[in-house]
């Protein structure tokens, strides 16, 4: 067990160093802005990611270490997984699972990026741990802790709700109803409700806007595009890796851990189904990966096959680190270069105050890098958190807007008699406008 602890600590140290060196992406900066306007929940997502960023505010003088609380929490999920697997696996299989997680593009290197995925994975694995406990011990403490984990998971990302159908299908198909202490189930329900109250209350106060947005975002498209399903399937094969996927499919887990099959395959099948309704982003079924890797680690050949997995993703991760840290390589991809371009944009627009952006990504990044508030101009792009803020509409008679050339302007500007002139162009395609009104 000591070598597992050493591996866990070394990988945590490497993550913390890289997390401090790599600038925040635009989406991360958006969640960072939330942490400076703390709420019970938010339009786009539940509040956990903002709470974690708020814990790191004191670390902001040290490069990008504001990520550290979230990165530590995400890495702690591996330790919880070790505790869970130590009840059912030998050390070699646990070590294999750790390597599968550490070199996963989303659970490994991807866990440096602070999104709602980090806390939901943590609480998903904690929920698996307590599920394992309640199926065996059936005591009050574990039933209560199980509910707390699920409730906090709901404060991380709505995907945690898939835990319930996974569990119900397991109990139904495996005929495990007698393994449940039904007298204590209300304890789990009450604990879960109490700890997800921030999200429930915020949605109640805001006409359930967040719930409606997520449902529309994930399910409502007028016409089916076969590319949605094809891209989803191919992405999952690559992310999980063919050998790992094959091992997870072929393994026959022992009865005490057969529930892993339901927590591995149901989320993947669920998002496969939604791919017939809308485009599914590659990271959405991330909650399935811990259990998929647990199943794969049980396969007798996986300890040998993992070298192909580690070699393949190890090279990709090494290349990604070099590209991110060496300026000459960043420009090969606009998405990779985006944080650095926005960092430069923050320096070039620092003299213009008050300053607005034309998207939540731009405004958030300019705010983060300049450490001076930059709001998104109301209604200039799709509705988001910025549109709910009173500062989204300028209060004075002059303001500046930095935007992508060619992007339009909201109609209320002309209705309120705002006039503008272009005062600066910034490579590659940004322009600064000065707005005034009588």
pLDDT tens digits for range 352-392: 999 999 999 999 999 999 999 999 999 999 899 999 999 99
pTM of the model: 0.94
User: From CA 187, how far away is CA 135, in angstroms rounded?
Assistant: 15
User: From CA 393, how far away is CA 396, in angstroms rounded?
Assistant: 9
User: From CA 197, how far away is CA 28, in angstroms rounded?
Assistant: 24
Give me the pLDDT at residue 219, please: 60
Q: In what order do the strands lie in the sheet with 398-404?
A: 375-376, 355-357, 398-404, 430-436, 419-426
Give me the pLDDT at residue 217, please: 65
Collect the ranges in the chain with pLDDT lower than 70: 217-222
User: From CA 141, how far away is CA 134, in angstroms rounded?
Assistant: 9
- Residue 304: CB atoms within 10 A of its CB come to 11
Give me the pLDDT at residue 129, please: 97
User: From CA 371, how far away is CA 341, in angstroms rounded?
Assistant: 16
pLDDT in tens, 128-170: 999 999 998 889 999 999 999 999 999 999 999 999 999 999 9
What is the bridge-based pairing of β-strands 398-404 and 430-436? Answer: antiparallel
Give me the pLDDT at residue 213, please: 84
- Residue 95: CB atoms within 10 A of its CB come to 19
Q: Which of these, 122, 6, 124, 25, lies nearest to 69 by C-alpha position?
A: 122
User: From CA 168, how far away is CA 174, in angstroms rounded?
Assistant: 10
CA 417 to chain centre: 41
Contacts of 426 (CB under 8 A, 6+ apart): 345, 348, 349, 402, 432
Phi first, then psi: give them for residue 208, nearest 5 degrees: 55, 35
Give me the pLDDT at residue 138, please: 83
Q: Which two tokens stand for residue 248?
A: 């997870």
CB-CB contact of 160 with 152 (8 Å): no
According to DSSP, the residues that pair with 432 across neighbouring strands are 402, 424
Give me the pLDDT at residue 134, please: 94
User: From CA 81, how far away is CA 128, in angstroms rounded?
Assistant: 9
Give me the pLDDT at residue 325, please: 86
138: three-class secondary structure by DSSP: coil
What b-and-e string marks burial along 232-267, b requiring 16 or more CB atoms within 10 Å of the CB?
beebbeebbbebbbbbbeebebeeebebbbbbbbbb
């Amino acid at each position: 067990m000591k070598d597992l602890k050493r591996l866990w600590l070394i990988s945590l140290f490497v993550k913390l160093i890289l997390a401090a060196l790599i600038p925040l992406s635009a989406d991360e900066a958006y969640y960072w802005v939330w942490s400076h306007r703390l709420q019970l929940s938010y339009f786009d997502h539940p509040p956990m990611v903002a709470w974690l960023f708020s814990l790191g505010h004191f670390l902001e003088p040290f490069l990008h270490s504001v990520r550290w609380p979230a990165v530590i929490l995400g890495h702690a999920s591996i330790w919880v997984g070790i505790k869970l697997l130590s009840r059912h696996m030998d050390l070699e299989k646990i070590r294999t699972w750790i390597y599968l997680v550490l070199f996963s593009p989303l659970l490994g290197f991807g866990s440096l990026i602070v999104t709602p995925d980090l806390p939901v994975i943590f609480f998903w694995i904690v929920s698996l741990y307590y599920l394992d406990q309640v199926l065996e011990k059936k005591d009050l403490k574990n039933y209560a802790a199980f509910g707390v984990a699920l409730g906090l998971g709901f404060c991380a990302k709505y995907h945690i709700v898939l835990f319930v159908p996974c569990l119900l299908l397991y109990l139904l198909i495996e005929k495990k109803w007698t393994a449940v202490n039904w007298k204590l189930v209300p304890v789990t329900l009450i604990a879960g409700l109490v700890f997800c109250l921030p999200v429930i209350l915020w949605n109640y106060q805001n006409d359930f806007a967040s719930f409606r947005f997520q449902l529309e975002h994930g399910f409502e498209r007028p016409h089916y595009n076969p590319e949605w399903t094809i891209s989803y399937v191919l992405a999952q094969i690559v992310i999980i890796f063919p050998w790992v996927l094959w091992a997870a499919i072929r393994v026959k887990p022992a009865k005490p851990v057969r529930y892993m099959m339901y927590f591995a395959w149901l989320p993947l099948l669920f998002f496969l189904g939604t791919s017939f309704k809308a485009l599914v982003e590659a990271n959405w079924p991330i909650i399935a990966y811990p259990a998929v890797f647990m199943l794969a680690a049980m396969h007798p050949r996986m300890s040998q096959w993992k070298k192909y997995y580690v070699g393949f993703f190890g090279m990709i991760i090494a290349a990604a680190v070099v590209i991110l840290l060496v300026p000459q390589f960043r420009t090969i991809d606009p998405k990779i270069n985006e944080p650095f371009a926005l960092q430069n944009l923050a320096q070039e627009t620092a003299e213009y105050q008050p300053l607005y952006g034309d998207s939540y990504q731009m405004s958030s990044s300019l705010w983060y890098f300049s450490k001076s508030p930059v709001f998104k101009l109301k209604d200039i792009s799709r509705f988001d958190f910025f549109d709910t803020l009173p500062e989204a509409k300028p209060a004075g008679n002059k303001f500046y807007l930095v935007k992508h050339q060619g992007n339009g302007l909201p109609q209320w500007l002309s209705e309120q008699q705002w006039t503008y002139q272009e005062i600066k162009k910034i490579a590659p395609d940004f322009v600064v406008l000065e707005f005034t009104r009588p």
